[in-house]
Structure 1
Amino acid sequence: MKKYFLFYLLFSAVLVAKAENGYELWLRYQKVNNAPLLQSYNSIISSINFAGASATTTVAKEELIKGLKGLLGKNIPVTNSITANTLVVGTPATSATIRSLPIQSQLKSAGDEGFVVMTTSTGGKKVTTIAANTDVGVLYGVFHFLRLLQTQQPISNLSFVSAPKIKVRMLNHWDNLNRHVERGYAGSSIWDWHRLPGYIDQRYIDYARANASIGINGTVLTNVNANAVVLTAPYLEKVAALANVFRPYGIKVYLTARFSAPIEIGKLKTADPHDPQVQQWWKDKATEIYQYIPDFGGFLVKANSEGQPGPQNYGRNHDDGANMLADAVKPHGGIVMWRAFVYSHETPEDRFKQAYNEFKPLDGKFRDNVLIQVKNGPIDFQPREPFSPLFGAMPKTPLMMEFQVTQEYLGQATHLVYEAPMFKEVLDADTYQKGKGSQVAKVIDGSLHNYNHTGMAGVANIGSDINWTGHLFGQANWYCMGRLAWDHTLSSEKMADEWLKQTFNNNHNFIQSAKKMMMGSYEAMVNYMTPLGLHHIMGTGHHYGPAPWVDNVGRDDWNPIYYHKADEKGIGFDRTATGSNALAQYAPELQKLYGNINTCPDEYLLWFHKVSWDHKMKSGRTLWEELVHRYYSGVDSVRSMQKTWAGLKPYVDKERYDHVNMLLAVQEQEAVWWRNACLLYFQTFSKKPIPAKYEQPDKTLEYYKNLKFPYAPGNG
């Protein structure tokens, strides 16, 4: 009996090891199932010549060996010699062969982090080269090469040079020291602070591998609603342990700095940035941090927003606070990322305008190691927002993009929503700051204003769930955020194609159908949640589900009715000259486009205009009819996604198929919930019917109003 029990345990362990639970993300390295292509790969890669012995080149070499073994189904020998079809990897500093190859001009354009992947020859022998100027560039090149094989691209005649367009490419973790993740929908924090620094979870290493594979080079470990305790010695030891894990993968750690830390852990009586004792306290603290973590990246700061302390508590401005911290980290090479998400305790005339009003006058007053981190839109990560007007307003100050990868307002972790089209919509938007062609992407990559520092951050959707992101397809949003930070010119379709092939398989039928489903998912979500420019109509606090009727929260701009302003005359927020005039914060070209109700794109109509229920839309429908059409179209799109996924069952392992299938069913139910609740509520103002051709709501408005979710995940 004991023998059979041991056999059972062994057999079970094998099954678990092979289970497709999503843990491996896009780094599965499954054997290439295209026989001619596999034969071609094996003929092109006969051996590996890998130069370098640093910690970074060591992990790059390990990744390459592991990846090739999985993809090619055999061990590729590592040799010191160069023969025909050798894969030559290294830098000019570590490899004489690299120095001798005719790729020096390409290496020059690769810069400090970029790489060259090229088919060339040495000594009459044809070789494939992965070369870079630095070890971390080699690591990025290795991941790119493996991606080519994972996506079954030809590699017989390569000529590829890639360098990141943005310098600081990071994840912002809203993780608390008690392991609760604010706006996290994938379990608890992956940082096990209690067992650090002594216990290093394999998950930390795999996290670093995944980030390096898409070019992410920084991570902010702690919540923007910061806890000053993380800046104390016991926690700095823990942070240092994580930094040691991440360093070989080219990833720097950053921390959030609570502005009142000098009082809370420094026992000072003030945190006034003009106080010499406070200034010295931060300088001493920075020196202490760098003693633990020599390559510490710097601070991310949320100040004077949502009750957080800041320089305005002492009658100072944002530049006073940011510059004090910047002076503290400057001698060590650190930066400060100061968030522009601000709104005062008193409700402003239009919350849309406040970040611009506070930061525009400060342009050019920040130290040269300060970046202003700006959310993509002017309100708060809504399903669709026009770009923040700050991106067209601060030519003298580096502006850093902040996207929200975690789906706080996008169905959280129960909805399949591919965010790349949303990110691209913002990046490709034209600010007209220097005339036509002044896209947001050119602002944040520094090319428009010659910024010295550039950055893009994504608020992480990562947690302790086995598949990292709660919803398997949530991985694609982590993936595309990293890829866009490296190269914002990549298309949403290309990134979806890459992710699907690496995460699932290369079957043409599967890829085409799954990619179509992904590409339509964002617009579907906007339609069943907030069509035509509606925004901020979600449930209070937990932000789960619709609640456009809420009018009793403590301040006006926390209430959905503040944003949609529905009444018997119409719906929408007038931000033209006849309303709040928020449009004045944009370039004249955009004021003209958005300010005219007849030229304003439908996507932003209710963002900028109060519109009559009978207004004739571009479609020929009235506004009410168009609103109904959009809400029902969104639900229909989710049902179409369900059918598409059902047809893909033969191409996906059971565990992951069932996971997505069940969540699509949840998404369909919640899309109907959004549609019915919103239309029933807005109908109380429009006094118009939902046409009989549509399925009618099966619940009353009062039913939806009475729903409560006291334990919804991710709440503050």
Structure 2
Amino acid sequence: MKNLLFLFVLLSTLCRADDGYRLWLKYDLIKDAARRAEYAGAAQFIAAADKSPVVQTAAQELQAGLQGLLGKPVAMAPGAGGKTGGILLTVDANTNTANAEGYQITRRQNNIVVSAKTPAGVLYGTFALLRHLQTGQSLANLALSSSPKVKIRMLNHWDNVNGSIERGYAGSSLWKWYELPERLDPRYRDYARANASLGINGTVLNNVNASPRFMTTEYLRKVAALAGVFRPYGIKVYLSVYFPAPKTIGRLPGADPLDPQTQQWWNAKVKEIYGLIPDFGGFLVKANSEGEPGPQDYGRSHADGANMLGKALEPYEGVVLWRAFVYKADPKGDRFKAAYEEFKPFDGKFHPKVIVQVKNGPIDFQVREPFSPLFGAMPQTPLAMEFQLTQEYLGFATHLVFEAPLFKETLDSDTYAKGKGSTVAKVIDGSVHGYPLTAMAGVANTGSDRNWTGHTMGQANWYAYGRLAWDHTLPSEQIAGEWVRMTLTQEPNAVKRITNLLMRSRETYVDYTNPLGLHHIMGYGIHYGPEPWLDRAPRPDWRHTYYHRADSIGVGFDRTASGSNALALYAPEVQKQWNKPETCPLPYLLWFHHVPWTQKLSTGRTLWDELCTRYYSGAEAVAGMQKEWDAVRPAVDPEIFDDVAGRLAVQRKEALWWRDACVLYFQQFSKQPIPAPLPKPERTLAEVKELVDIYQMR
């Protein structure tokens, strides 16, 4: 009865207009009759002898998917025996995969066999087979095999107990804390399905700026209810920790990590958690960062705080993910160096249960950043990658920005930690330093909006993150093409157009907002729109003039030996790439150099002319995106088409806003005319600033 109800709920969604709710799990009838017949002949039944909940979930997903794709029922045949022409889901310890979560999909005796060493591997293999069918690929010579390259592949939700989401742009939180644990929203299962289809195996439920409430028994029972929904999909739950919880919840005098009372409190709390959630994943901690309390409040180090929690977790399988996003308000310093200076001295001093979670770049999820110098610099400490899916600095849910190229840019960067080829990806997957624990985290872009991510195209970032967390070698274009075919259309010309649009979108956004390595010039507080003129804030490193340092000579932050010397944090081979303005790649030029306005660049233009050209061409490229989207109208669901078209219109308007604001502001310093044939902005800088004040509600 449960299986029939699951199928009814899933298949009933197929009768509705496409509002984006189904994400990439759209099992619509295959239009190609020949391909449909090929699949039907190979999928006459499903057999899953293993009765574990995860394998049974895989069988249900496969049955529902096939019935949608083929337009007819596909029977379960637990006792298939010698039958042929079906799909067998098999847990086999002898499966030849790199690790326990890997899978193999082969043809044997006229059956398709999905085999793995563990139930989770079978689930991932099942979704891989469905992806193969959804994208219209042949079953001839079928032989698929894949294993995840990192062990912990998680989403980090910045969700609060009141239902709000910090940096959330798709409605309120998915988690209805006031209804839990008694009522389980059906959406929780759909969330788990989407993640499992990508191989995501962990989720941090609450904001890193954590409420102590999550350590109470009342809320742990709510968390346990969610864990029960996610468990059949191979997903573990994690919690962000409010470091002084022993004081605020436990009524202790303090929360000193070296105090035996504090340690005892955490030991007891961890025991309680595992009593409720036996497969609890562990803790994520933001401490002594942006006002959050931590071990330094008691004269202790990050290692002291992390190790206390690591020791409390020793009897269990959970881990501690300790964030390296820390920086002090130093008007004479360089925030670029902060995480490195705080964590590098503690390499090798962390508990074996601790992973240090590092943002992809040294500042804060900017539109483009050089990779964090911590990657490759801590050989004795497992480092996790933290990406941001929610578009905090990428135009929220009104700008189309496909983030896979951003992720790949970081992952493929060479740290030279152990010679050429020591990429960031190979650092975090343990290849370079042999880390026993490996992890990748993505700050989620989900919310209560019907289509999950606000902007329909934002779903592609969730999808891309999951695919790269599983296998960081996948090309961005392949990922984009998969998502388009599974989510929007399979019409070949439309697939090509939309894939190209996605692939160009990030560079377009960079051009009209932060070209040539400009960074941190967005609207203050909410991080939306342009505000390069900001020179007043509670901290010096929250002022945008701190980063671009524009003056009558030029613009950019000198991070060479003549400036902050942040470049020295990298390996010599990396320094060589970036240490001279004449040879520094243009995308990173103003990250590392204060460049004269009149200096000629490799493009043949002066810095000022190149800056203007990028701003104008980026804004015009959005108009090109609109035309490309208009051309695919016949191939895309009308509701989705209209939604994306409306958001592209907003993006075009705001690209012009960014262009005018930045060109007019920086022109005050360059004293140069806008190069011909580019038209002068039709509004003044004062008018643009007034628009910013309206957006900021100041």
Aligned partner of 2:327 in structure 1 is 343
Question: Which residue among 550, 557, 563 is the counterpart of 1:573?
Answer: 557
Deviations 1:551-577, CA, capped at 9 Å, x for gaps = 011111100000000011000000000
Question: Which residue among 333, 352, 355 is the counterpart of 2:339?
Answer: 355
Question: Which residue among 625, 629, 632 is the counterpart of 2:616?
Answer: 632
The equivalences for 1:18-33 within 5 A come to 18-33=16-31
The equivalences for 1:405-484 within 5 A come to 405-484=389-468
Question: Which residue among 647, 661, 674 is the counterpart of 2:645?
Answer: 661
The equivalences for 1:189-338 within 5 A come to 189-338=173-322
Assess, with a 3 A threshold, how the Cα gap between structure 1 residues 358 and 348 changes in structure 2: closer, same or farther: farther
Question: Which residue among 160, 164, 172 is the counterpart of 2:144?
Answer: 160
Per the TM alignment, residue 48 of structure 1 is displaced from its structure 2 partner at its CA by: 1.8
Tell me the SS of whatever aligns to 2:315.
helix
* Separation in structure 2 between the aligned mates of residue 134 and residue 200 of structure 1, nearest angstrom: 28
Per the TM alignment, residue 695 of structure 1 is displaced from its structure 2 partner at its CA by: 2.8
* Separation in structure 2 between the aligned mates of residue 468 and residue 478 of structure 1, nearest angstrom: 10
Aligned partner of 1:380 in structure 2 is 364
| Residues 1:120 and 2:108 aligned together | yes
| Residues 1:146 and 2:130 aligned together | yes
* Separation in structure 1 between the aligned mates of residue 329 and residue 562 of structure 2, nearest angstrom: 26
The aligned amino acid for 1:67 is: G
* Separation in structure 2 between the aligned mates of residue 345 and residue 328 of structure 1, nearest angstrom: 32
Per the TM alignment, residue 707 of structure 1 is displaced from its structure 2 partner at its CA by: 2.7
* Separation in structure 1 between the aligned mates of residue 152 and residue 625 of structure 2, nearest angstrom: 36
| Residues 1:532 and 2:516 aligned together | yes
Assess, with a 3 A threshold, how the Cα gap between structure 1 residues 15 and 49 changes in structure 2: closer, same or farther: closer
- In terms of mean alpha carbon deviation, does 699-708 or 333-342 score higher? 699-708
Per the TM alignment, residue 15 of structure 1 is displaced from its structure 2 partner at its CA by: 10
Assess, with a 3 A threshold, how the Cα gap between structure 1 residues 681 and 345 changes in structure 2: closer, same or farther: closer
Tell me the SS of whatever aligns to 2:626.
helix
Per the TM alignment, residue 110 of structure 1 is displaced from its structure 2 partner at its CA by: 4.5
The equivalences for 1:56-135 within 5 A come to 56-79=54-77, 80-81=79-80, 82-92=82-92, 104=94, 107-121=95-109, 126-135=110-119
Aligned partner of 1:10 in structure 2 is none
Deviations 1:326-358, CA, capped at 9 Å, x for gaps = 111121111000000001244461000010001
Give 4+ residue runs of structure 1 displaced > 4 Å after superposition.
13-17, 345-348, 708-713
Contact 2:152–2:439 (CA under 8 A) maintained in structure 1: yes
| Residues 1:51 and 2:49 aligned together | yes
* Separation in structure 2 between the aligned mates of residue 247 and residue 454 of structure 1, nearest angstrom: 21
* Separation in structure 2 between the aligned mates of residue 267 and residue 646 of structure 1, nearest angstrom: 61
The aligned amino acid for 2:83 is: T
Contact 1:44–1:156 (CA under 8 A) maintained in structure 2: no
The aligned amino acid for 1:24 is: R
The aligned amino acid for 1:477 is: N
* Separation in structure 2 between the aligned mates of residue 15 and residue 44 of structure 1, nearest angstrom: 26
* Separation in structure 2 between the aligned mates of residue 228 and residue 117 of structure 1, nearest angstrom: 45
Aligned partner of 1:98 in structure 2 is none
Contact 1:413–1:469 (CA under 8 A) maintained in structure 2: yes
* Separation in structure 1 between the aligned mates of residue 444 and residue 580 of structure 2, nearest angstrom: 37
* Separation in structure 2 between the aligned mates of residue 384 and residue 635 of structure 1, nearest angstrom: 18
The aligned amino acid for 2:55 is: T
The equivalences for 1:500-511 within 5 A come to 500-511=484-495
* Separation in structure 2 between the aligned mates of residue 482 and residue 184 of structure 1, nearest angstrom: 19
Contact 1:514–1:644 (CA under 8 A) maintained in structure 2: yes
Contact 2:97–2:104 (CA under 8 A) maintained in structure 1: no
The aligned amino acid for 1:498 is: E
Aligned partner of 2:572 in structure 1 is 588
Tell me the SS of whatever aligns to 2:691.
coil
* Separation in structure 2 between the aligned mates of residue 306 and residue 16 of structure 1, nearest angstrom: 46
| Residues 1:485 and 2:469 aligned together | yes
Contact 2:529–2:692 (CA under 8 A) maintained in structure 1: no
Aligned partner of 1:40 in structure 2 is 38
Tell me the SS of whatever aligns to 1:514.
helix
Contact 2:597–2:607 (CA under 8 A) maintained in structure 1: yes
The aligned amino acid for 1:572 is: G
Aligned partner of 1:513 in structure 2 is 497
Per the TM alignment, residue 16 of structure 1 is displaced from its structure 2 partner at its CA by: 9.7
TM-score by length of 1: 0.94
Question: Which residue among 547, 554, 558 is the counterpart of 2:538?
Answer: 554
* Separation in structure 1 between the aligned mates of residue 682 and residue 13 of structure 2, nearest angstrom: 44
* Separation in structure 1 between the aligned mates of residue 671 and residue 692 of structure 2, nearest angstrom: 27
Per the TM alignment, residue 653 of structure 1 is displaced from its structure 2 partner at its CA by: 1.3
* Separation in structure 2 between the aligned mates of residue 274 and residue 304 of structure 1, nearest angstrom: 16
Per the TM alignment, residue 58 of structure 1 is displaced from its structure 2 partner at its CA by: 1.8
* Separation in structure 1 between the aligned mates of residue 543 and residue 696 of structure 2, nearest angstrom: 19
Tell me the SS of whatever aligns to 2:358.
strand
Per the TM alignment, residue 597 of structure 1 is displaced from its structure 2 partner at its CA by: 1.1
Per the TM alignment, residue 52 of structure 1 is displaced from its structure 2 partner at its CA by: 1.6
Deviations 1:514-552, CA, capped at 9 Å, x for gaps = 000000000000000100000000011000100000001
* Separation in structure 1 between the aligned mates of residue 480 and residue 314 of structure 2, nearest angstrom: 39
Assess, with a 3 A threshold, how the Cα gap between structure 1 residues 49 and 15 changes in structure 2: closer, same or farther: closer
* Separation in structure 2 between the aligned mates of residue 17 and residue 560 of structure 1, nearest angstrom: 50
Between the aligned residues of both structures, percent identity stands at: 58
Aligned partner of 1:700 in structure 2 is 684
The aligned amino acid for 1:33 is: K
Deviations 1:85-139, CA, capped at 9 Å, x for gaps = 221112137xxxxxxxxxx4xx132421111100122xxxx21111111111111
* Separation in structure 2 between the aligned mates of residue 404 and residue 25 of structure 1, nearest angstrom: 19
Contact 1:348–1:354 (CA under 8 A) maintained in structure 2: no
* Separation in structure 2 between the aligned mates of residue 111 and residue 342 of structure 1, nearest angstrom: 34
Tell me the SS of whatever aligns to 1:523.
helix
| Residues 1:687 and 2:687 aligned together | no
Per the TM alignment, residue 708 of structure 1 is displaced from its structure 2 partner at its CA by: 4.6
* Separation in structure 1 between the aligned mates of residue 195 and residue 154 of structure 2, nearest angstrom: 9
The alignment's C-alpha RMSD in Å is 1.6
Contact 1:110–1:161 (CA under 8 A) maintained in structure 2: no
TM-score by length of 2: 0.97
Assess, with a 3 A threshold, how the Cα gap between structure 1 residues 280 and 682 changes in structure 2: closer, same or farther: same
* Separation in structure 1 between the aligned mates of residue 466 and residue 92 of structure 2, nearest angstrom: 27
Deviations 1:242-261, CA, capped at 9 Å, x for gaps = 00000010000000011111
* Separation in structure 2 between the aligned mates of residue 208 and residue 114 of structure 1, nearest angstrom: 19
Tell me the SS of whatever aligns to 2:97.
helix
Q: How many residues align?
A: 686
In structure 1, runs of 5+ residues without a counterpart are 1-12, 94-103
Contact 1:306–1:345 (CA under 8 A) maintained in structure 2: no
Question: Which residue among 670, 675, 678 is the counterpart of 2:662?
Answer: 678
Assess, with a 3 A threshold, how the Cα gap between structure 1 residues 712 and 130 changes in structure 2: closer, same or farther: farther
The aligned amino acid for 1:109 is: T
Tell me the SS of whatever aligns to 1:90.
strand
Per the TM alignment, residue 709 of structure 1 is displaced from its structure 2 partner at its CA by: 6.0
Tell me the SS of whatever aligns to 2:387.
strand
Assess, with a 3 A threshold, how the Cα gap between structure 1 residues 16 and 396 changes in structure 2: closer, same or farther: closer
Per the TM alignment, residue 370 of structure 1 is displaced from its structure 2 partner at its CA by: 0.4
